Amino acid sequence: MKLPLFFISDIHLRLTVSDDESEKRKHLINFISHVADEQGTLFVVGDLFDFWFEYKYVIPHAYFDVLTSLHQARLNGVDIFFIPGNHDFWTRDFTQETIFSEIYPDGVSLEESSGKFLIIHGDGLLSWDFGYRTFRKIIRSSLFTWLYRWIHPDIGYAIGRWISRTGRHPAHTKEYDDRVIADLTEYAVEKFRDGMDYIIMGHYHQVKKIKINGGTLVILGDWLTHRSFGYFDGKEFSLNYWR
Ligand SMILES: [Mn+2]
């Protein structure tokens, strides 16, 4: 794997391009060409899109600029790996062949000289998320996906957009955020015990790098408020802000 490694998550590209959205995209496209200039590797750790459901013949035009920039980076020799999130789980041939080098629906673990990485989106991990875990199993099933594909794309995307909007995280209290971190720490400790050195995840929209029991738990933040990214040069992992 070509170093350095770059990690981003929770960009939540919208289906309607407002001023904020086009500002965000400008930065994202700059970031992607930076990865290409550095000849590194890019991990997109879920929720790149606010909604993505891939039909057999149809792709949404709203994301054309970002899709083009990812494709261009790949033509320039950059590997781009995608770990789908809860908003963009439904990929097919187009994303698998044209946009990304590889898609890992359940996350991926890899070994670098300085340690073992586990990279996951992170949804469904919280100990109190029972209902969501069942819901997640259903919407990820091949039956659900097959049925959803028979909905006309205009309607399928309208529903997806509506659900993405209503499911949008309200501003969390600090107490809630701390509870999330405590819970994720418990999850991480177990993985570190099993030999992982780094756990990299998105989903929680917090920018956090925590050292626990010799391991490092990273939450990548997002591109809605933070524009944060992870960077690994082969020795050190750092969290940074794209400006
Ligand atoms: Mn998510």
Which domains are seen in the chain, by residue range? Answer: 5-241 (3.60.21.10)
* Phi, psi (degrees; rounded to nearest 5) at 9: -155, 165
> What pLDDT is attached to residue 119?
98
> What pLDDT is attached to residue 166?
78
Distance of CA 161 from the midpoint of ligand 1 (Å):
14
What residues have their beta carbon closer than 5 A to ion ligand 1? 47, 85-86, 203
Q: For 175-198, what is the mean pLDDT? A: 96
* Phi, psi (degrees; rounded to nearest 5) at 123: -75, 145
Distance of CA 168 from the midpoint of ligand 1 (Å):
10
At residue 96 the predicted structure's pLDDT band, cuts being 50, 70 and 90, is: very high
- The answer on pLDDT for 170 being more than 70 is no
Q: For 170-175, what is the mean pLDDT? A: 82
Token couple for 9: 């998550």
At residue 167 the predicted structure's pLDDT band, cuts being 50, 70 and 90, is: low
* Phi, psi (degrees; rounded to nearest 5) at 85: -105, -170
Q: Which residue has the higher pLDDT, 12 or 167?
A: 12
3-state secondary structure of 204: coil
Distance of CA 56 from the midpoint of ligand 1 (Å):
24
* Pairwise CA distance, residues 89 & 202, whole Å: 14
* Pairwise CA distance, residues 113 & 234, whole Å: 7
Query: Which amino acid is located at 213 in the chain?
Result: N
Mean pLDDT score of the chain, rounded to an integer? 96
pTM of the predicted protein model:
0.96
Q: Quick check: bond before 60 cis, omega within 30?
A: no
Distance of CA 224 from the midpoint of ligand 1 (Å):
12
Distance of CA 169 from the midpoint of ligand 1 (Å):
10
At residue 172 the predicted structure's pLDDT band, cuts being 50, 70 and 90, is: confident
- The answer on pLDDT for 180 being more than 80 is yes
Alpha carbon of residue 98 to chain centroid: 18
Distance of CA 53 from the midpoint of ligand 1 (Å):
15
DSSP letter (8 states) at residue 130 = H
Distance of CA 81 from the midpoint of ligand 1 (Å):
17
